[in-house]
Chain A
Amino acid sequence: MEEKKLIPASELCLHHKVEISFIHSLQEYGLIEIISEKGNEYLEEEKLTELEKIINLHNELHVNIEGIDVVLHLLEQLEATQGELNRLRNQLKFYT
C-alpha cells in the first residue's frame, strides 16, 4: 500500500495565514480530514489541492463554510457534466 504523505497543519496555516480553528471547522463540516499523530495535526498531501481551493474560496471570495460545501458539490456535478458533455461531443463528431 502506498504511504500517505502528510503536511503539518501548522505549516499550511502559517503559509496561508489562516487560523488552525478554521481548519478544525472544515473538519467539523466534513470537508477535510485531519490526521493526528503523536499530538501533532497533519493533512494529506494528496488533498492539498482541494484544501487550497477551500482556502481561496474563503479568503478571496469571502464564502463561508456552508457556502464552500455547496460550491464543492456543484463543482463535482460540473465535473461529471463536463465528462458527459465530452462523451456526447465525441459521439456527435461521429455522426457529423
Chain B
Amino acid sequence: MEYVDYYKILGLDKNASTEDVKKAYRKLARKYHPDVNPNNKEAHKKFQEINEANEVLSDPEKRKKYDQYGKDWKHAEEFEKAKHQQRQRQYSGEGAEFFEGDEGDFSDFFESLFGGMGARSGRSKTKFKGHDYEAELHLSLREAYNTHQRTLTLNEKNIRITIPAGVENGQRIRLKGYGAPGANGGPNGDLYITFVIEDDPQFKRLDNDLYTNAEIDLYTAVLGGEATIETLSGKIKLKVPAGTQNDAKARIKGKGFPVYKKDGEFGDLYITYKVKIPTNLSEKEKELFAELSKLK
C-alpha cells in the first residue's frame, strides 16, 4: 500500500487553509466529474482521488490524523495490520473485465487510516437509480462474426447475453437493469459493455468488408485456373483469370462481415493474390523456363 499525498492531489501545500482546500476541490471536481467525462476511466479515477483528498483535508479532525500519519509513515506497519479487507466484488466471465461505472470505493490507504467511513459531505454516494457498471468484453474477429451467447457472472449472478453478429471494435451496448440496485425503491443501474475485437492473423476488417491474401502458384496466375479461398463462412472455389498479376485484387460480394443487426446482410471480401514464384527448380524446369524466355 502506497502513501497517498492528498495535498499533491489537490495541488496544495501543507499550510493550505480550509478555504483553499474547498476552492481547489471545486475546481478539480468541475474538471474531472464523471458526469462531464463520460467513458473516461482516467477521469473517473482522478475524481475518486480528489474526492478522497477533499474528504480528508476539509475535515479538521481527519486532516490532523492524516498529517500525523504522514509524519510517521516510515513506521506505519501497525496501520498496515489494521488494513481493512477490501470489499469483495466478484466479477468474471470469459474475456470480460468489469469496473465500476461511477463512484468507487476509497483507497486502501484511506480505509486503513479512517476505516470504512462513507462520504461525509460533498459527493453524495447514493443515487436514486443504482450505479451503472462498465465491462469490457474481448472477442476474436471470428467470434464477432456469429451471433452467439455469453454468460457473465456479476456479483454471483449469471447474466446470459446475446452478442449480435457484426459488433464493432469499441462499440458499447447497454443492458438495462444489470447495474447496482437503486436506493429507496429506485430502479437498478445499467450494465454497459464495450466490445474489444482482437486482430485476426488472416483477415482484416474495414467497416463490414474483410480483406485477406490468397497465395496462387505461378502457373495458375499465368494460365488461369481455380483457387480455394478460405472465408469466415467456409472454403470457396474461385476462378482465377489467366494473366493474374501479383497483388491483383478480387472482390467477392457478400462474403465479408455481417452487418450489425441486419440479418442476412454482409459486406464484401477483398482478396489480394500473392503469386508464388517456384524455387528449387529441376534441370528440366530450368530448361523449359529458358526456352520460354527465348520466345519473348
- A residues sitting closer than 8 Å to B (CB atoms) are 5, 7, 11-12, 14-16, 45, 48-49, 52-53, 56-57, 59-62, 71, 75, 78-79, 82, 86-87, 89-91, 93-94
With A11-B184, A49-B129 as known contacts, state yes or no: A75 contacts B38, CB within 8 Å: yes
Cα–Cα, bound, A55→B187 (Å): 17
| A90 and B168 contact, CB distance less than 8 A | yes
Secondary structure type dominating chain A contacts: helix
With A5-B187, A61-B30, A82-B39 as known contacts, state yes or no: A48 contacts B123, CB within 8 Å: no
| B186 and A60 contact, CB distance less than 8 A | no
Query: In this complex, which of B30, B123, B128 has the most chain A Cβ atoms within 10 angstroms of its Cβ?
Result: B128
Q: Enumerate chain B residues within 8 angstroms of A87, measured Cβ to Cβ.
A: 168
Tell me whether B124 is interfacial, beta carbon within 8 Å. yes
Q: Enumerate chain A residues within 8 angstroms of B123, measured Cβ to Cβ.
A: 60
Cα–Cα, bound, A45→B115 (Å): 35
Q: Enumerate chain B residues within 8 angstroms of A91, measured Cβ to Cβ.
A: 206-207
Smallest CB gap from A54: residue in B: B35
12 CB < 8 A contacts A-B: A15-B126, A15-B186, A52-B128, A53-B35, A56-B35, A57-B33, A60-B124, A61-B30, A86-B170, A89-B170, A90-B168, A90-B207
Cα–Cα, bound, A73→B190 (Å): 23
Q: Mark B4-18, 1 if CB is under 8 A from A, else 0.
A: 000000000000000
CB contacts under 8 Å to A, within B165-202, are 168-171, 183-187, 190, 199
Count B-side interface residues using an 8 Å CB cutoff.
Answer: 32
Q: Mark B204-242, 1 if CB is under 8 A from A, else 0.
A: 111100010000000000000000000000000000000
Smallest CB gap from A49: residue in B: B129
Tell which of A45, A57, A82 touches B35, judged by Cβ atoms closer than 8 Å.
A57
Q: Mark B101-125, 1 if CB is under 8 A from A, else 0.
A: 0000000000000000000001110
Tell me whether B159 is interfacial, beta carbon within 8 Å. no
Shortest CB distance A80–B (Å): 12
Tell which of A15, A52, A60, A78 touches B33, judged by Cβ atoms closer than 8 Å.
A60
| A78 and B185 contact, CB distance less than 8 A | no
Smallest CB gap from B30: residue in A: A61
Q: Enumerate chain A residues within 8 angstroms of B170, measured Cβ to Cβ.
A: 86, 89-90
